[in-house]
Amino acid sequence: MSKRFTLALEGSTYEGSVALIRGAEAVAERTLRADDGGGPGAGRGERLLPAIAECMADARVGRADIKHVVCGAGPGSFTSLRVAAAVAKGLAVGYGADLYAVSSLVLTLSGARSVLVEGEYLSVLDAMRGEWFAARVRVSGGKVEQTAPAAILSAEDLHSASRSDPQLRIIGPGQQIDGRPHARGVAPLLRRILSAGPVDLASWEPDYGRLPEAQVKLDAARNAGLHA
């Protein structure tokens, strides 16, 4: 039977990932790390397409078997997200599949290898400049749901959130619970993702969270020139 698989991509961090999903199960997956021969930006693209090909070969899946493409929507690394989104769009067009998006902050929890206890979490990712992208996520009854929009928190804000609510668990790179978004996290969320409907291929962009550092510096230089 053709067109029964979902291809998931996640690129909000340098440690990008790919998963091939059937139903609510990830049947093949790859994690792209800096030490896998791809350099420090391995999640940015040079290993993404080969990883997809490897997953499809592992599961003996052809392009006609891909019905949906799901991409982690950020927030996170501008360059990594942009590359993953471009690849996801290109594959959706090439496979004749719909493209869907899901919060990368949610994929940190839904893609966790270990079982997370029920309760409230603050999912965070490095936003650089000593700040963090953060969103509250609830785990309850086997469901993982984001309960508030993503925001940018300072390191002090992060510590304050932990102190003010001892029941709140911080999950993210180097946090109380060390975790990163992973494409396999699409599997338990797939029904909800599909019910939300596909994105518009022509206009969709990930949630970068903020402008890239180069753009910030350029804008600052322009403003300085205007006021010189």
**Paired tokens of 61:** 């899946």
Here the contacts of 201-205 (C-beta below 8 Å, separation 24 or greater) are 201/89, 201/92, 201/93, 201/99, 204/85, 204/89, 204/99, 204/101, 205/85
Question: Considering the chain, what percentage of its residues have pLDDT values greater than 70?
Answer: 86
77-114, pLDDT tens digit by residue?
Answer: 998 999 999 999 999 999 999 999 999 999 999 999 99
What is the Cα–Cα distance from 20 to 98, expressed in whole angstroms?
15
Taking residues 22-35, report their average pLDDT. 88
Query: Which domains are seen in the chain, by residue range?
Result: 5-107+181-223 (3.30.420.40), 113-178 (3.30.420.200)
**The pairing of beta strand 17-22 with beta strand 5-10:** antiparallel
- Per-residue confidence (pLDDT) for residue 218, from 0 to 100: 47
Nearest to 208 by CA among 104, 91, 69, 99: 104
Taking residues 192-200, report their average pLDDT. 98
Per DSSP, the three-state class of 48 is helix
- Per-residue confidence (pLDDT) for residue 2, from 0 to 100: 52
80 alpha carbon, distance to own chain's centre: 10
Burial class (CB in 10 A: 0-12, 13-18, 19+), 98: middle
- Per-residue confidence (pLDDT) for residue 213, from 0 to 100: 55
Q: Are 29 and 39 in contact (CB under 8 A)?
A: no
143-184, pLDDT tens digit by residue?
Answer: 999 999 999 999 999 989 889 998 999 999 999 999 999 999
Evaluate if residue 39 carries a pLDDT over 70.
no
